[in-house]
A = this chain, B = another copy of it.
Amino acid sequence: MSKPVILVTNDDGIISPGIRALVEVAQHFGDVVVVAPDSPQSGMGHAITIHDPLRIQKVSIFDDLGIPAYQCSGTPVDCVKIAIDKIIKRKPDLCVSGINHGSNAAINVIYSGTMSAAMEAAIDGIPAIGFSILDYTFDADFSAAKVYAKSIIQNMMNVGLLPDALLNVNIPKLPLDEIKGIKICRQANAKWKEEFDERRDPSGKNYYWLIGNFVNNDQGEDTDAWALDNGYVSIVPVQFDLTHHHAISFINKNWNL
């Protein structure tokens, strides 16, 4: 019986340490292929490249692990699409994305290229998980994250999940022995308050850097934000059917169309 094929991607780019950590975990479970952006793609959400063509290039970055790897000029979602159509040439048995340098908990799931890559796989019927660690630094310590990623991937491979769900896994910035375990959570109702840093260029014109402040007004103890604040790994099952079913009946009852 042939081994499962596992697609590994991310949004921080193919040279980020986080994707290497995830490749090292994934290779316990099957034949890994890496297809990841050739440059950082954080905050790209579910963007796809329509107005430009894409390039892919085989790279040697994972030769030491015996893993084929391709960098792509597009977004994380592009990487998943082109991996299936042009590189693997079939659907992989699993897609894992990350490990992202930085949180994708709460509303970040919507902005995250890491999570959008996993969602793209899930839309295509592929079991999919996005992993993130709450440490933005290049030299983040992934040792605890790798232990949890292995356990979660094991369950995904052995037990599976509902066909219209994927997972958003976030791991606190803690050593393994200080992590209290895993909580299965809902997405915290938190958001970014928009804020821009206004500057003036040498020719006197204004330009703006997006900064923003994370605001969590959700007091629930069943959220990913709560779990992470309290030393747990958070797993939020995520859906790509965005229908707000309660609002259907609200409109049918109250609107005059």
Contacts and interface: CB of A to CB of B under 8 A. Distances in A.
Contacts of A244: 162, 164-165, 237-239
A107 interface: yes
A184 B242 contact: no
Nearest to A207: B53
B243 A237 contact: yes
Interface stretch (A14-22, A28-36, A80-88, A138-146): A80-88
A210 B48 contact: yes
Nearest to A160: B254
Interface stretch (A2-10, A60-68, A93-101, A186-194): A186-194
Contacts of A165: 244, 246-247, 250
A49 interface: yes
A240 interface: yes
Interface in A86-132: 86, 107, 109-111, 116, 119, 123-124
B54 A208 contact: yes
Contact of A245 (B75, B186, B212): B186
A42 interface: yes
Interface string A243-257: 111111011101111
Given A243-B187, A248-B186, A256 B54 contact: no
A195 interface: yes
A239 B243 contact: yes
Interface string A180-221: 011011110101001110110000011111101000000000
A179 interface: no
B111 A257 contact: no
A131 to B, nearest CB: 14
Contact of A40 (B51, B54, B159, B246): B51
Contacts of A49: 43, 210
A77 B45 contact: yes
A59 interface: no
Contacts of A81: 194, 196, 210, 212
A254 B195 contact: no
Contacts of A210: 48-50, 54, 78, 81
A242 B198 CA distance: 33
Interface of A: 40, 42-51, 53-56, 75, 77-78, 80-82, 84-86, 107, 109-111, 116, 119, 123-124, 151-152, 155, 159, 161-162, 164-165, 181-182, 184-187, 189, 191, 194-196, 198-199, 205-210, 212, 235-248, 250-252, 254-257
